[in-house]
Amino acid sequence: MDRHIRTVDDVLTLLDGLFAPDADRWTAGGAAWWDGFYADRSRPVPFFVAKPDENLVSYLDRGLIAPGRALDLGCGPGRNALHLASRGFEVDAVDLSPTAVAWAEDRAREAGAEIRFHCGDAFAPTAAAPGGPYDLIYDSGCFHHLPPHRRISHLALLDRALAPGGHFALTCFASGRTGSDLPDEAFYRHSRLQGGLAYTPESLRRIFSGLTEIELRAMREQGPESPHFGESFLWTALFRRAA
């Protein structure tokens, strides 16, 4: 007989176990899956390109966000972390995959950028990245790989690490364009994440209702000649925490 549940973290860990092997996409043990994903740097994966998200560039160009301390969640090969550093931010970047972090570090050395890279699970009680406070937390493609119950961990990270008056920016799968539109409870019946969760603007507004919406729109498609990354199957959102 096992009666070990006594904390919220115990419940979250129990629910994580329902998604094996999909749990390897977001838990600390997921490094091996993502290492395989990032092993071949020549693969034609859209976000392997060394280009920042078009929405991030737009926020900066329009003065919606200003340089400060930034945390890049699920940084992958570091394309957005590099852009933030080039625009004057002090950047921490975290990813589960040592292979992705090594690639990002290579890019940073080539660019002469000073970025603190951290390998591990940013949502764990002992977080891989410092605790902030951050003026900007940027999540490009991490959120939609979390199972529904791990939104609690994501929101807890924002609560403890986002500075008063700071901004949270997100890109994630858009409902009807890519990812799964199944309701939350269905993922627990199937024990799979179906490649990632799709979101509607209304669901994003509800989840992040503790923050003030600045902008929520589809990402603008970018051609191969563009210096920026953009895919129309993603939502982009910018929120601000109360000062």
Domain map (residue ranges) of the chain:
8-240
Supply the pLDDT for residue 31. 72
Q: Which two tokens stand for residue 176?
A: 């009807």
Using CA atoms, how far apart are residues 210 and 213, in angstroms rounded to an integer? Answer: 9
Supply the pLDDT for residue 28. 56
pTM for the model stands at: 0.94
Taking 70 as the pLDDT cut, the residues of the chain under it are: 1, 21-30, 125-128
- Residue in 147, 115, 149 with CA at minimum distance from that of residue 10: 149
Q: Are strands 162-173 and 234-240 parallel, antiparallel or unpaired?
A: antiparallel
Using CA atoms, how far apart are residues 51 and 209, in angstroms rounded to an integer? Answer: 30
Query: Span 8-240: which CATH code?
Result: 3.40.50.150
Helix H or strand E encompassing 160: helix 151-161
Supply the pLDDT for residue 132. 85
